[in-house]
Structure 1
């Protein structure tokens, strides 16, 4: 038996009672697990299937070329954020986002603990933390913009320039990027409510340029509506 701690990114019901789980684990990075009977009427553990919940998985040995099976799951840390509609919307967006961008990610302790830090921020009702978390991921992946004296961020080159290079990266949006990138505690960066939508759009543009095969998360429309 192998014990793994991981954040649940997505889960798909398989047949009547089983499920396939996509997780980002502390020890092995992105993993896909099969769990049998989780949706059976008597199984109370199905309540643990919440996006970004931190779970402990007991993994059975893999047979042949199949995916690893989970024989037991336990909740590692509890949060109240799933009862908060704004926080819940953010959780769905970020789990959707991570399920895409971490598909080929191996063990990465810094990234793993950054997810935990983001969840703590959200649990503390920092409703803009998902925007700053997206910059955190860029920094960890080594593709964050380079800081210089330029006033406008050029999303294609990842540098700041004297002239505006993209219509979404005006002076205000570029300034938020620079403030966040230069901050010792990125989550202290304040973003005006009126600028949050445009800032999120700028983040997605930047990801399009710098993350291979990046696609807009399907939950984008929902999170934009919630914060309007």
Structure 2
């Protein structure tokens, strides 16, 4: 039996009482685990199955080519982010984003630490932390824009130019990109509400250009409405 720390990204009910959990783990990256009996009437732990909860999983040895079964799991740290509607919408958006776009990611301590940092920002009610987190993931993946003297970010080439190349990447939006890319601690940067929707849209456009098979989170519309 071995143990594993990981963030829950999503889960689906399997049969009457069981579930399959999709997680991003510290040691093995994206993993799926089988959890027996979580929906049994007397099992109170089903209330712990919240997106981006950090768990320690005890795993039974893998038999054959199936997925590993969880023998028990414990919440590593409890927090109150799920009681705040804005934090909650950010959590669901990022867990949705990671669940769809990290499925082939192996062990990556930098992404794991980045997730811990992001959760910490949410605990301090930084409602814009998802905007910075998405840029940080681009940097980790090695596809963030290259900084130069241009005023307009070209999302296709990943460079800044002197002319507008995409309607979403105005000088204002491009300036926000530069500020986050330059900053030693980008989480302190505040994106004005006037630009928040267009900035998030611009980030997703950039992902479509640079991340193979990128999928827009299905919860995008919800988070855009919450922050209007």
- Tell me the TM-score normalised to structure 1 length: 0.99
Give the drift of 1:194: 1.2
Give the drift of 1:43: 0.7
The question of 1:29 aligning with 2:21 is answered: no
Residue-by-residue CA offset, 1:139-170 (whole Å, 9 max, x unaligned): 01100000000100000000000101100000
Tell me, yes or no, if the aligned pair for 1:45 and 1:73 is still in contact at 8 Å: no
Q: Indicate the residue corresponding to 2:216 in structure 1.
A: 216
Give me the whole-angstrom Cα distance separating, in 2, the residues matched to 1:62 and 1:107.
18
Tell me, yes or no, if the aligned pair for 1:92 and 1:219 is still in contact at 8 Å: yes
Tell me, yes or no, if the aligned pair for 1:149 and 1:160 is still in contact at 8 Å: yes
List runs of 5+ in structure 2 lacking aligned partners: none
Give me the whole-angstrom Cα distance separating, in 2, the residues matched to 1:176 and 1:26.
31
Q: Indicate the residue corresponding to 1:200 in structure 2.
A: 200
Q: Where in structure 2 are the equivalents of 1:178-189 lying within 5 Å?
A: 178-189=178-189
Aligned residues: 228
Q: Indicate the residue corresponding to 1:10 in structure 2.
A: 10
The question of 1:173 aligning with 2:173 is answered: yes
Q: Where in structure 2 are the equivalents of 1:37-52 lying within 5 Å?
A: 37-52=37-52
What RMSD in Å do the two structures reach over aligned CA positions? 0.6
Give me the whole-angstrom Cα distance separating, in 2, the residues matched to 1:174 and 1:114.
23
Tell me, yes or no, if the aligned pair for 1:208 and 1:214 is still in contact at 8 Å: yes
Q: Indicate the residue corresponding to 1:59 in structure 2.
A: 59
> Segments of 4+ in structure 1 off by > 3 A?
none
Which sits farther off after the overlay, 40-49 or 169-178?
A: 40-49
Q: Indicate the residue corresponding to 1:161 in structure 2.
A: 161
Give me the whole-angstrom Cα distance separating, in 2, the residues matched to 1:100 and 1:222.
17
Q: Indicate the residue corresponding to 1:79 in structure 2.
A: 79
List runs of 5+ in structure 1 lacking aligned partners: none
Query: SS of 1:168's equivalent?
Result: coil
Give me the whole-angstrom Cα distance separating, in 2, the residues matched to 1:193 and 1:79.
27
Give me the whole-angstrom Cα distance separating, in 2, the residues matched to 1:183 and 1:160.
17
